[in-house]
Amino acid sequence: MKKALITGITGQDGSYLTEFLLEKGYEVHGIKRRASLFNTQRVDHLYEDPHFDHARMRLHYGDLSDTSNLTRLIRDIEPDEIYNLGAQSHVAVSFEAPEYTADVDGTGALRLLEAVRFLGLEKKTRFYQASTSELYGLVQEIPQRETTPFHPRSPYAVAKLYAYWITVNYREAYGMYACNGILFNHESPRRGETFVTRKITRGLSNIALGLEPCLYMGNIDSLRDWGHAKDYVRMQWMMLQQDAPEDFVIATGVQYSVREFITWAASDLGISLEFSGEGVDEIGTVSHVEGDLAPNVKVGDVIVRIDPRYFRPAEVDTLLGDPTKAKEKLGWVPEITAREMCREMVASDHKAARRYALLKAHGLDLPVSLEG
C-alpha cells in the first residue's frame, strides 16, 4: 500500500486530494495545526478511528514552521509521496503578514525537501509543490505557460517563488523526484469563505434570504482562469506518477471577470443585476427577481458595492493559463466548467443559508460564520 503525506490536509485541496488518494488505495497521513477550535471540518467525513489497525487516514499535529516536527513525521511515516499543500494561501493577507507567509510558504517547502534528503529518502519519496499562477503576477505573456517569465506581485507570490525554485533546485542537485504544479485559481463549495468566488456565492445566498444586506467587493474588473478543485487534485497525483519529474501549468484556458462571476451567482438565485457608476462608486442594483430562492430581494435593491479596503497594494489584473503541456503529456483535461462550478457553489451556500434562516426563525441565533 502506498503512503502519502499531505501538508494542508484540512484545506480545500487537501480534502479533495485525500478523498482521491483513499479511493486509489493509499494510506493517507495529514498534518494538521493545533487550533483552539476544531479545524478539520473538511476531512471529518474521511477520518477513521486510529484505534483500529485498518485505519487508512491518519492526522498528525504539526506545522510547516517546525523543522524537527516535519523531520520526525517524515522519518516515522516514510511516505512514498509528499504533497506540500500547506500555506498561508491568502494573497491579501500576505501583505498583512509577510514574514509569516515567507516562513511557511517559502521556507516550509525547503524544510520538507531537506528532511527528505537528510533522512536519505531522496530516491524513495516523491515531492509535489503547490505552486501558483500568482508567480506570473504582472504578466509577461498571454496565455501563461511553463516557460513564461515570473513577476510576483505579493509577499505570498514571492514566498511561492522561493518554494518553486528550491523544488527545482533539489531536483537538479540531488536527483529528487520533485515537481511543481503551477495551478491557476481553483474553487469549490469547500473554498475558504474569504476567497472571491466563495465570498460571492455565500454573500449573495445570505442576501437572498435576508441574512445580510449587501456584498462589499474589491476590484471586480480582475480576470481569472477558474477551475474546479476536484479536477486539479487529480492532476497533482498524475504529476507524481510519471517516469521523470516535470513542472506543469494546470488551468482551463478560459478567463472571466469577477463581475461576471457575481452576475452568474446572482442569476443562479433568480436575481438579475445591473451595474452602474464608476470605480469605487460602482454599484450592483437588482433589476429583476424570479423564482423563490431570493424571497428577501426586490427590484431596486443595491446589493453590491465597492469597498476600497479590499483593493490590494499591488494587484494581479489578469491571469489566463495554457494547459497544453498537461493535456498532451498527461492526457489531463478539466471536466467541470467555471459556470457549472458557480452553480454548485451557489446551491451549497443557499442550502446553508436556508438552514441558518430556519434556525433563526426558531430563535436559535447562531453566527452565520459557524454555519458556512
Q: If contact means CB under 5 to 8 A according to the sort of partner, which of ligand GDR, ligand NDP, none does residue 8 touch?
A: ligand NDP
Cα–Cα distances (Å) from 189 to 42, 193, 247, 282, in that order, read 10, 9, 27, 28
Q: In the block, which residue shows the cell 513564461?
A: 148
If contact means CB under 5 to 8 A according to the sort of partner, which of ligand GDR, ligand NDP, none does residue 220 touch? Answer: ligand GDR
Interface residue with ligand NDP among 3, 4, 5, 8 (CB under 6 A) is 8
Q: Are the C-beta atoms of 54 and 92 separated by less than 8 Å?
A: no
Cβ contact 327:321 at 8 Å:
no
| 14 binds ligand NDP per the rule CB under 6 A | yes
Residue nearest to ligand NDP (CB): 11
- In the bound complex, what is the minimum distance in angstroms from residue 92's beta carbon to ligand GDR? 6
Q: Looking at 27, 134, 187, 212, which residue is catalytic?
A: 134
The gap from C-alpha 367 to its chain's centroid, in whole angstroms, comes to 24
Q: Which is nearer to ligand GDR, 258 or 320 (CB)?
A: 258
Interface ranges with ligand GDR (CB under 6 A): 89, 91-92, 132-134, 184-185, 194-196, 199, 217-220, 222, 224, 258, 310, 312, 315-316
The neighbour count for residue 125, using CB atoms within 10 Å, is 25
What DSSP state is assigned to residue 150?
P
CB of 29 to ligand NDP, least distance (A): 13
Stretch that binds ligand NDP, among 2-10, 168-176, 263-271, 273-281 (CB under 6 A): 2-10
Does position 64 interact with ligand NDP (CB under 6 A)? The reply is yes
Confirm if 338 and 254 have CB atoms less than 8 A apart: yes
Extended strands (E) in 247-371:
248-250, 256-257, 271-276, 283-289, 302-306
- The reply to whether 372 sits near ligand NDP by the rule CB under 6 A is no
Q: What is the distance between the alpha carbons of residues 197 and 87, in angstroms, rounded to a whole number?
A: 19
Q: Which residue has the cell 423563490?
A: 292
Q: Which of 3, 4, 5, 7 binds ligand NDP (CB under 6 A)?
A: 7
Out of 7, 132, 148, 201, the active site residue is 132
Calpha distance 358→365 (Å, rounded): 10
Contact letters (x/-) for ligand NDP, 164-193, by CB under 6 A? -------------------x-xx-----x-
Cell of 25: 488505495
User: Has 132 been annotated as catalytic?
Assistant: yes
Catalytic residues: 132, 134, 156
